[in-house]
Structure 1
Amino acid sequence: MFNGLRKGAAQAGDLVAVQGLGGLGHLAIQYAAKLGFRVAAIARGEGKRELALQLGASEYIDSSVVDPAKALQELGGAQVIVATAASGASMSPLIDGLGLRGRLIVVGAANDPIEVTTGSLIFGGRSIHGSLTGTPSENEENLAFSLANDVRPLVEVVALEEAGTAYERMMSGAARFRMVLTTTQEG
C-alpha cells in the first residue's frame, strides 16, 4: 500500500481514493491520510462510513448507492485511485473517476479482467499500474513511516489452538482485518 501510494505521482493535498475497506484498504486509507492526501474511501454500505472516517478519510462514497466515478468527478477527480478489491469488474468503472493524468493503482488480485475503453485512457492521460510490495529498503522505509506516523493494522488476536476458526473467519471475510495467532493469551 505504502509503495503504491508513493509511486502514484500524487502531491500533498491531491485527492486519493481507496476502493475497498478490508485488509489492504484500511491500511491504504491510513497511509494516504498520513502522506497528506485528501482521502475518499469507496466501499459498499453505509455501515463502513464511520470506520473510514476514523482511519483518516475525509470523504466516504457508498458504491451501493452512488456511482463512485461520478462522485469522484464531483470532488474534482482523483489523482490516484488505489483498487484493493479482488474484482476487476469493480475496478473497471473507477477509471472514469480519475482526474487528468490520474493513475489507477491495482493492488487487489482479481481473476477477472479490468476493462477500459481506449478513450478513457487517452483523453485525460490516465494510466493503470500494478503494485505488489517493495524492495527490502522500501519495506524498511514503510515500517519506519508506519512507526513514526502511527499507522497500524487492525487485527484480531487468537490462540494458536483456534487456528482453524481463525482461518475460517479470514476466508469468509468476517475477520476485521487481519487474524494473528499467538502462543500465549493476551490478558
Structure 2
Amino acid sequence: MSSSTETDYKFEGWAGLTADACKGEMSFQSFEPKKWDEDDVDVRIQYCGICGSDVSALSGEWGPVDKVAPQICGHEIVGEVVKVGKAVENDLKVGDIVGIGAQSDSCRECESCKNGEENFCTKQTITFNAPYNRGSAASAGSVSRGGFAKYWRGPSRFAISVPSTMDPASAAPLFCGGVTVFSPLSEYGAGTTAKNVGVIGIGGLGHFAVQFASKMGAEVTAISRGENKKEDAIKLGATKYIATGGDVKRGIEGHQRSLDLIICTINPEELPIHDYLPLLRPHGYFILVGVVPKPLAIPAFSLILANIKVGGSNIGSPAIIRKMLDFAAAHDIGTKKSPSKYIQKYNMNDINKALPDFRDGKPRFRFVLVNTDNGGKL
C-alpha cells in the first residue's frame, strides 16, 4: 500500500466516554488516528490484551474520562502491517506481524533515547490518550489511540516484529505485562548473580515473572496470600511457594535470607514492604513493578544492616522488547508449539463483557481481545 494519507479502511474502535465505560458502557465509533508521518506504519489489529492500566484509565482513576474522551485504550497490540511510510524503521514491510506495547513514541534526542532507553524519555508518548510530541507540524499534538480498535497507526520504531514461531495471541500480553517483569529480571541478573528469585503476586504480571526467571536459570519462590495459586506456580516453574496469609511476618518464617532478588507485582493500597525485606540476602534487591498508591514505609536499618536496595522498573525499551521476544521464542514461552494456557480470549465485540469480568478479578491470568474479522483466532 502507498504512503498516501488516504486508506481503504476505517479507524474504528471501542471508546470510553464516561467513567462507566468499564461497567459495560464502551461505545463503538470512528476516531481520528495520528496524522501520518513517513516513519509511521498502519497495523490491522488482530489481538489486544487487557491490562490494569486500561481499566484504570477507563474507570477515571487517572482523571475524568470525559475530559479526554473518546478514550481508545489498549496497549498490548499484535497485528499485521498494512501500510508503511517512506522512512519506515525496523525494516518493516506490509504483511509483517508486529506488536506495540505501552509506549508508542519518544523524543529521539535526549540522553535516554540516544542510549536506547526510550522508556525513560521524559517526552515519551504512551500508547493511548497522550499527545505526540515529535514528528511533522501536522502530527505533533495528535492524540495516541490504542488497540481496542480495528487499526493502529504510529511510529514504526515502536512496532516490534513478532518472531514467526510465536503464537500471536500469546505474544500480545508480553508487550506490556511480559516486558514489565522481563526487564528487571534481566537487569538484576536473574539466574546469574541472582540465583534465587522471589515473585510476590502470581497474577497477570507474576505468572510471567515466574516463567521468565525459571527459564533464566533461577530457583524461583512464588509468594502469594493463599494456597490457591500454588499448583499454577509450580507448573510455571516455581520450586518453592510461600503462602503468607494475613500475616507476612509469620508467613515468611523459615525463609529469611533465602532470596537475592524479589520482583513485587502486587498493588495493594498499602504495602508492608518491611515485612518482606527479611527474605533478602545481603546485597539483595527488592524491585517494584506494581503501583502501590500509599508511600512506602521502610525503617532505615532494614536497608542498612544487609545493604538492601529498593527500586522500581518501568516497562522496557524497543531493544528490551526484542530481547524478551527472542528469549520467549527460544524457551517455548507462548510459542505456536506451546501457546499460553494462561490467556482467556474474548471476541473484541464482546468487550462490554470482558471489561466487567476483568474488574471482577476473573483473569487467570490475562485477557486477550480478538478481532476475528481481521484474522484473529478465538
Q: Within 1, Cα distance between the matches of 2:190 and 2:347?
A: 41
- Counterpart of 2:319 in structure 1 is 137
Matched residue, 1:167: 355
Give me the whole-angstrom Cα distance separating, in 2, the residues matched to 1:71 and 1:113: 28
Q: Is 1:103–1:129's contact at 8 Å kept on the other side of the alignment?
A: yes
Q: Deviation digits for residues 46-74 of structure 1, max 9, x if unmatched?
A: 1111000000000010111763443431x
Match of 2:308 in 1: 126
Q: Percent identity?
A: 32
Q: 1:90 deviation in Å?
A: 4.3
Q: Note closer, same or farther for the CA distance 1:23–1:71 as it changes in structure 2 (3 Å cut).
A: farther
Deviations 1:29-50 (A, max 9, x none): 0011000000000012111110
Superposition misfits of 4+ residues, deviation over 6 angstroms: none
What CA distance in whole angstroms lies between the structure 1 residues aligned with 2:278 and 2:244? 14
Partner of residue 253 from structure 2, selected from 56, 70, 79? 70
Asked if structure 2 preserves the Cα contact closer than 8 Å seen for 1:15 and 1:79, the reply is: yes
Unmatched segments (≥5 aa) in structure 2: 1-180, 335-339
Which of the numbers 209, 218, 222 marks the counterpart of 1:28? Answer: 209
Q: Which residue of 2 aligns with 1:86?
A: 267
Does the residue aligned with 2:286 lie in a helix, a strand or coil?
strand
Q: Which runs of 5+ in 1 are unaligned?
A: none
Structure 2 residue 188 is matched with structure 1 residue 8: yes
**Secondary structure in 2 aligned to 1:161?**
helix
The answer for the alignment partner of 1:117 in structure 2 is: 299
Q: Give the Cα separation in 2 of the matches to 1:91 and 1:132.
A: 19
Q: What SS does structure 1 have at the residue aligned with 2:292?
A: coil
Residue matched to 2:221: 40
Q: Whole-Å Cα distance in 1 between the matches of residues 354 and 276 of structure 2?
A: 33
Per-residue deviation at 1:9? 3.9
1:18 paired with 2:18, answer no
Deviates most, 124-133 or 89-98:
89-98
How many residues get paired? 185
Structure with bigger helix share is 1
Q: Kindly report the root-mean-square deviation, in angstroms, between the aligned alpha carbons of the 2 structures.
A: 1.9
Q: Is the 8 A contact 1:69 1:98 kept in 2?
A: no
Distance 1:31 1:68, change over 3 A: farther
- Contact 1:2/1:142 (CA < 8 Å) preserved in 2? yes
Higher Cα radius of gyration: 2
Provide the rounded CA distance (Å) in 2 between the counterparts of 1:160 and 1:54.
29
Displacement, 1:173? 1.5
CA contact (8 A) 2:190 2:213 kept: no
Distance 2:182 2:295 in 1: 24
Give the secondary structure class of the aligned counterpart of 2:253: helix
**Residue identity opposite 1:168 in structure 2:** P
Map of 2:337 onto structure 1: none
**Scaled by the length of structure 2, what TM-score is found?**
0.46
